[in-house]
Amino acid sequence: MSVDEDKIVKKMVAEIADSNEKFIDSSKDIENFKRIVPVLLEKGIDNVNLSMFDEATKSKLLNALGEEYIRRGDMNNSVKAFILAGNRYRLVEVGEHYEEVGLFGNAIDTYRLADANEQLLNIGRKCLENGHFSDAIKAFRLCNDVENLTKVGDECFQKGKWDYAIEIFSAINSPHKLVEIGDKCLRERQIGYAAKAYELAHDKDKLSALGDVCLREGLLATALKAYSLAGNDMMVTFIRENFGSKLSSF
């Protein structure tokens, strides 16, 4: 789901929740609509048309449908039903179910749709503590929590998880951290990661220095790329003029 689509869905949930809040907690109404639910299940949540009903009736039907999907263990379709019903409360509960069974990515996606920042922060911390860095990053980015993202980035840096560390410090626009990663990667001869970190830090001096290292070690294509990103036209010309035949592609 794109960023714009995500915003639209969350806005839709919020608007429906505001208009239908008084209908969501009525267990009696849900019981009354259970007789229609089998027809809706057969049709499928993606194909059902409830446009003939007023908003209150649609909300009740969708909540009843969502509850039946949960009873059947179909959490994905229950989420769709509760989104359409604007039922944030049940969306959060579905997210909590996903979290309990260790499906952290699904939980995060569901909390996001419910716009449940507190739950996102909690699951982000939980994922960080248990080494689920990708999920922690996802949760904290959704909350725009720079402090916790920095903690994850530092943890990944210490553990040598360069992909995650670079992703985080690029996302929070921390060039000095990216340079720090690049320097350590270069010392450890992780040339690809060093190049990526320096490139995202937009540090032309570091890129040019990396080009020098690569040239000395015969890594001509990498040297050429580093010099190009650094805007070092003199060294780009030098490599092309003297080693052009050895460059398979760039």
Phi, psi of 92 (to 5 degrees): -60, -40
How high is the pLDDT of residue 49? Answer: 83
Residues 6+ apart with CB under 8 A from 249: 221
CA triple 170-174-177, angle to 5 deg: 95
pLDDT of residue 25: 43
pLDDT in tens, 146-174: 999 999 999 999 999 999 999 999 999 99
* Overall average pLDDT of the 211-215 stretch: 95
Could you read off the pLDDT of 27-76 as tens digits, one per residue?
455 555 667 788 888 888 888 888 888 888 888 889 989 998 999 999 99
What per-residue confidence (pLDDT) applies to 5? 53
Distance of CA 134 to the CA centre of its chain: 8
pTM: 0.74
Contact partners, residue 52, CB within 8 Å, separation at least 6: none
* pLDDT recorded at residue 134: 93
At 99, the amino acid letter reads E
pLDDT score, position 247 = 73
Spatial contact of 138 and 108, defined as CB atoms under 8 Å apart:
yes
Per-residue pLDDT at 248 exceeds 50: yes
d(CA 83, CA 80): 5
- Sign of the dihedral defined by the CA atoms of residues 239, 245, 246, 250, in that order: positive
